[in-house]
């Protein structure tokens, strides 16, 4: 006996080949009906057939879906068959927007193995094509301008499909069916290679050419999926030292992109969880400990690794995640490349060729640039294990954003914006029991980053169909630029502003992250660099007791006078002097601090110590705080 089932699925089911998967399974089971992308409300499947076959479809959706897909909810309603279908089809995406929907926006996805094969196959239409992708891989969030996720709502609208690509795009049995970023060298975006004077450098494949130039010791700027990297070889310390001098980045470590996982295992210590993370389709940077006596050390010498990550026993490593990366290693002799963000620390990623050429003209020798618009810039995500089974984000960006976090509670119906603190900021929007975080923004003490934050928030609001906020949350500090942004938004929209004490925010995050019941109160010991206190002083070492709604300050460290303002939060030697400067003899202090720095490139000396102690005693450029600085 035939029946009808109306199936509603939410989760990561858009832009990941989910509808073609449903189509193929339904056809194999001789079912009739359709699958429809509901825009911001998931996917609807209406199907008719025997109950046994329909249940097989549902079981396959639950257990055999594409690896990148994720089901959050699957609801099915049964009804008598209406016999209105003659086949199973994929309907055109709905453009309706539901104000209370829970959209799951697809993040950028690393190139899949099938596309890598096409990339390296001389018989393929996508041979050596630097933008190869399919329905299961490729750029997503960096290209999306609107929902539903269709080609017309991405930056790929600039590149009409050729006949070959359109054939795959319109064939439900092809893995490039409705692959919104699919293209080839005939119809899609292209790379070009230029020198510092913006002269085209080669007529051959520019990625092949830049690989050879890097092997010869050149420093290259590589425009990628969502930003720009600076790359050098690693078999010689010379180019890396030149890069450090040009960028004026003498101590901060560089990340490495390694040819393949087998090579990576010889370079760093990787456990099973780290392996799963670094080889996943998200492809983050993983901070891992260096391996000694490595068989790759003849090519990546210890002395070179010390230049890459000075004085550290760990190093950031990642695997290739774009077609361009795979082609680089195909034609380069290097086992690994330095792959560091091209932008200055704390500033937004460079995403357009003019800016790249202007800002990096004195740093890079050659520039690999493309003509695909990047709508949303995004850094590489960075993950570190704090224990064998506990990964934490150092930076949450490409590959993870804008995937939401579940945050149910009595506030589920509210739409709230959080603008973040001043350092390492991320914006966040709460809607329908989910928190959608923007990509990593950086330090919002820069006007450029406030503009970046504003644009990222506006884009997320648009995709989430949020026309009216119920409130905005910001840090309690009155002078943060992010606080000014929050004040501006609330004033213009006549909505409440919630000023949150910095360490109360930390306390609240522990409750949420620890899955502690939301009405519980906890004891929270904060050891932070700085947090503006409710009494107007600088807090940093407090014992707080409270919950999500309120807190009490029960105790903490004794407040001390620190010289140099924010420098005392960065250079622990200043914090040490603030605590013991008038209680310990100068010789003993110098012995303990040895050659510690008190400011950029300024080490402690007897004369400098005398100046700092006098400044502290006279309260010159000092800040009184319970903090002991950042460690």
Return contacts of 161-165, CB within 8 angstroms, 24+ apart.
161/187, 162/186, 162/187, 164/125, 165/125
SS (H, E, C) 464-531: CCCCCCCEEEEECCCCCHHHHHHHHHHHHHCCCEEEECHHHHHHHHHHHHCCCCCCCCEEEEEEEEEE
Burial of 341 (0-12, 13-18, 19+ CB in 10 A): middle
Of residues 399, 465, 457, 400, the one with CA closest to residue 432: 465
Of these residues, 19, 259, 377, 396, which one is catalytic? 19
Does 175 qualify as catalytic in the annotation? no
CA 236 – CA 243 distance, rounded (Å):
12
Please write down the HEC assignment for all residues of 296-346: CCCCCCHHHHHHHCCCCCEEEEECCCCHHHHHHHHHCCCCEEEEEECCCCC
Task: Please enumerate in sequence order all residues whose Cβ is within 8 A of that of 481, keeping only pairs 6 or more positions apart, or say none.
Answer: 422, 444, 445, 447, 450
Round to whole Å and give the CA distance between 48 and 43: 17
Is 377 part of the annotated catalytic residue set? no
Q: Which residues contact 293 (CB under 8 A, 6 or more apart)?
A: none
Largest CA distance in the chain: 93
Question: Degrees (nearest 5) of the Cα angle 242, 243, 247?
Answer: 120
3-class state of residue 573 by DSSP: helix
Catalytic residue among 3, 4, 24, 37: 37
Residue 264 CA to residue 228 CA, distance in Å, equals 23
Give the Cα separation of 185 and 119 in Å (integer).
Answer: 11
Contact of 184 with 178, CB cutoff 8 Å: no
Contacts of 49 (CB under 8 A, 6+ apart): 2, 3, 29, 30, 31, 32
CA dihedral 431, 433, 438, 439 (to 10 degrees): -160
Tell me which DSSP letter residue 157 carries: G
| CA–CA distance, 589 with 112 (Å, rounded to integer) | 57
Residue 541 near residue 558 (C-beta atoms within 8 A) = no
Angle at 576 between CA 572 and CA 579, to 5 degrees: 140
Q: How far is CA 396 from the centre of its chain?
A: 4
| CA–CA distance, 148 with 98 (Å, rounded to integer) | 12
Contact by Cβ (8 Å): 477, 502: yes
User: CA 459 → CA 21, 146, 147, distances in Å?
Assistant: 30, 9, 11
- Rounded-to-integer distance, Cα 568 and Cα 579, Å: 11
Q: What is the DSSP string of 79-102?
A: EE-----SSEEEPPPP----TT--
> Length of the chain, please?
631
Spatial separation of the C-alpha atoms in residues 133 and 232, rounded to whole Å: 26
Query: So which residues are the catalytic ones?
Result: 19, 37
């Amino acid at each position: 006996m035939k029946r009808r089932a109306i199936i509603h699925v939410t989760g990561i089911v858009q832009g990941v080949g989910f509808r073609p998967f449903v189509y193929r399974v339904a056809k194999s089971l001789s079912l009739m009906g359709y699958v429809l992308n509901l825009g911001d409300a998931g996917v609807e499947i209406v199907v008719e057939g025997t109950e046994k076959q329909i249940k097989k479809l549902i079981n396959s959706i639950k257990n055999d879906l594409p690896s990148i897909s994720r089901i959050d909810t699957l609801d099915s309603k049964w009804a008598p068959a209406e016999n209105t279908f003659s086949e199973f089809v994929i309907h055109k995406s709905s453009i309706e927007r539901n104000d209370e929907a829970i959209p799951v926006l697809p993040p950028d996805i690393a190139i899949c193995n099938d596309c890598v094969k096409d990339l390296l196959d001389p018989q393929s239409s996508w041979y050596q094509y630097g933008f190869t992708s399919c329905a299961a891989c490729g750029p997503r969030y960096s290209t999306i301008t609107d929902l539903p996720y269709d080609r017309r709502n991405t930056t790929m609208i600039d590149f009409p499909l050729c006949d070959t690509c359109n054939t795959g795009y319109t064939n439900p049995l092809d893995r490039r069916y409705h692959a919104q970023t699919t293209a080839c060298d005939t119809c899609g975006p292209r790379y070009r290679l230029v020198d510092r004077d913006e002269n085209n450098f080669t007529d051959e494949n520019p990625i092949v050419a830049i690989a050879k130039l890097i092997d010869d010791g050149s420093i290259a700027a590589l425009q990628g999926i969502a930003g720009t990297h600076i790359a050098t070889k690693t078999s010689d310390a010379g180019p890396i030292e030149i890069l450090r001098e040009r960028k004026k980045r003498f101590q901060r470590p560089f990340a490495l992109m390694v040819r393949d996982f087998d090579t990576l295992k010889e370079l760093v210590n990787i456990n099973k969880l780290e392996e799963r993370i670094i080889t996943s389709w998200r492809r983050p940077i993983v901070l891992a400990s260096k391996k000694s006596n490595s068989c790759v050390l003849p090519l990546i010498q210890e002395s070179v690794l010390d230049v890459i990550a000075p004085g550290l026993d760990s190093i950031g490593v990642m695997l290739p995640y774009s077609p361009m990366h795979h082609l680089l290693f195909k034609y380069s002799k290097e086992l690994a490349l330095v792959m560091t963000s091209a932008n200055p620390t704390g500033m937004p990623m460079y995403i357009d060729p003019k800016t790249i050429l202007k800002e990096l003209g004195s740093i890079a020798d050659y520039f690999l640039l493309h003509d695909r618009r990047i709508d949303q810039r995004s850094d590489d995500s960075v993950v570190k294990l704090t224990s064998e089974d506990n990964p934490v984000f150092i930076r949450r960006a490409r590959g993870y954003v804008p995937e939401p976090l579940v945050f149910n509670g009595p506030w589920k119906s509210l739409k709230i914006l959080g603008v973040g603190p001043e350092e390492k900021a991320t914006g966040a929007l709460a809607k329908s029991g989910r928190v959608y975080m923007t990509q990593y923004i950086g330090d919002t003490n820069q006007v450029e980053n406030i503009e970046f934050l504003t644009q990222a928030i506006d884009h997320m609001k648009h995709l989430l169909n949020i026309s009216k906020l119920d409130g905005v949350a910001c840090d309690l500090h009155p002078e943060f630029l992010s606080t000014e942004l929050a004040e501006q938004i609330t004033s213009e929209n006549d909505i409440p502003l919630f000023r949150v004490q910095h360490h109360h925010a930390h306390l609240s995050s522990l409750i949420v992250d620890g899955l502690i019941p939301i009405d519980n109160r906890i004891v929270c010991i904060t050891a932070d660099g700085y947090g503006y206190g409710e009494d107007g002083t600088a807090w940093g070492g407090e014992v707080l007791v409270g919950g999500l709604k309120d807190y009490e300050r029960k105790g903490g460290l004794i407040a001390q006078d620190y010289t140099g303002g924010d420098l005392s939060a960065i250079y622990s030697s200043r914090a040490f002097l603030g605590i013991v400067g008038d209680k310990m003899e100068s010789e003993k202090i110098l012995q303990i601090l040895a050659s510690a720095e008190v400011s950029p490139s300024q080490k402690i000396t007897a004369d400098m110590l005398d100046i700092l102690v006098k400044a502290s005693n006279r309260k010159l450029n000092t800040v009184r705080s319970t903090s002991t600085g950042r460690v």
